[in-house]
């Protein structure tokens, strides 16, 4: 690039100071002006780098593994709940036999013995664990947490322990279907309310699993992109990156962001 660097204003007083203009009446003096060639190098554009790309992929992979463990936990919890439901339904059948006055064909001692067997099965299931973690508790038992934070803001998914200490279930644990003794006689309504509570626990367990599956699916999409494409991808101006896209889907904020120029 050629630029005007100096004009000897002492020899040419008629040229206005600092004007830098080529006027028609001084073109004949242009041969005496001093010019120099100055090179203006264009600064290189800053390199786009992703220093945390591999670390982020490892973090997403670790979160997906924990989510899979959470789904396995809920699957085991669901199977155990169905075992308890089956046992409580058996208790209900014993109560119906008692109320239908099947005596003396079915002695009271036999009804109570069968009830004790079912109660023992329920107690075994109540004590079951999954990889050392209990699957059941009460309404005040804190849930297990799976941390899913991709940035600095803490975020986690909760996995609740099924509540097996509801009032009607406790009335079954500490009741009886026949015989003498201090225990309270179990009625049909108690069994029905206990089954209703257990079904609510099954539905909540399924709902939690569906939630974990959804989060796992969204994060797995990122892992699939990382494995199938180059690690450094060019992002179009104004378009959200893959991390922002995943975050929007998880948080439900898609459509609320404003693109910045």
Q: Summarize pLDDT for 94-117 with one digit per residue, the tens.
A: 999 888 875 556 677 788 899 999
**What is the Cα–Cα distance from 21 to 32, expressed in whole angstroms?**
15
* Range of lowest pLDDT (92-101, 179-188, 196-205, 243-252): 243-252
Q: What is the distance, to the nearest Å, from the Cα of residue 48 to the centroid of all Cα atoms in its chain?
A: 29
Q: What is the pLDDT of residues 206-220, one digit of tens each?
A: 999 999 999 999 888
Burial class (CB in 10 A: 0-12, 13-18, 19+), 108: middle
Q: Please report the pLDDT score of residue 82 as a whole number.
A: 97
**What is the Cα–Cα distance from 123 to 78, expressed in whole angstroms?**
16
CA angle 56, 59, 63 (to 5 degrees): 140
pLDDT band at 152 (very low <50, low <70, confident <90, very high): confident
- In degrees and rounded to multiples of 5, residue 212 shows phi and psi of -65, -40
* Range of lowest pLDDT (108-122, 147-161, 243-257): 243-257
**What is the Cα–Cα distance from 73 to 60, expressed in whole angstroms?**
20
Q: Which helix (H) or strand (E) holds 54?
A: helix 53-99
Q: Please report the pLDDT score of residue 117 as a whole number.
A: 95
Which of 149-153, 175-179, 256-260 has the highest average model confidence (pLDDT)? Answer: 175-179
């Amino acid at each position: 690039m050629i630029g005007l660097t100096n004009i000897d204003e002492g020899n040419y007083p008629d040229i206005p100071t600092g004007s830098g203009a080529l006027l028609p009446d001084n073109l004949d003096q242009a041969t005496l002006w001093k010019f120099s060639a100055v090179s203006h190098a264009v600064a290189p554009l800053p390199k786009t780098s992703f220093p945390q790309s591999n670390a982020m992929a490892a973090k997403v992979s670790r979160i997906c593994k924990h989510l899979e463990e959470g789904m396995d936990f809920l699957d085991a919890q669901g199977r155990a709940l169905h075992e308890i439901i089956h046992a409580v339904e058996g208790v209900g059948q014993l109560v119906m036999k008692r109320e239908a006055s099947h005596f003396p064909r079915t002695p009271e001692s036999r009804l109570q013995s069968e009830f004790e067997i079912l109660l023992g099965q329920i107690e075994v299931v109540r004590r079951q664990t999954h990889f050392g973690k209990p699957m059941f508790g009460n309404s005040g038992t804190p849930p297990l947490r799976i941390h899913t934070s991709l940035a600095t803001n803490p975020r986690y998914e909760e996995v609740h322990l099924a509540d097996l200490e509801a009032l009607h279930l406790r009335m079954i644990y500490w009741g009886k279907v026949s015989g003498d003794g201090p225990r309270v006689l179990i009625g049909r309504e108690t069994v029905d309310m206990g089954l209703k509570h257990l079904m609510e626990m099954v539905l909540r367990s399924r709902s939690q699993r569906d939630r974990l599956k959804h989060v796992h699916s969204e994060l797995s999409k990122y892992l699939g992109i990382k494995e199938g494409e180059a690690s450094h991808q060019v992002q179009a101006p104004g378009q959200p990156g893959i991390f922002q896209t995943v975050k929007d889907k998880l948080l439900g904020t898609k459509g609320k962001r404003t693109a910045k120029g």
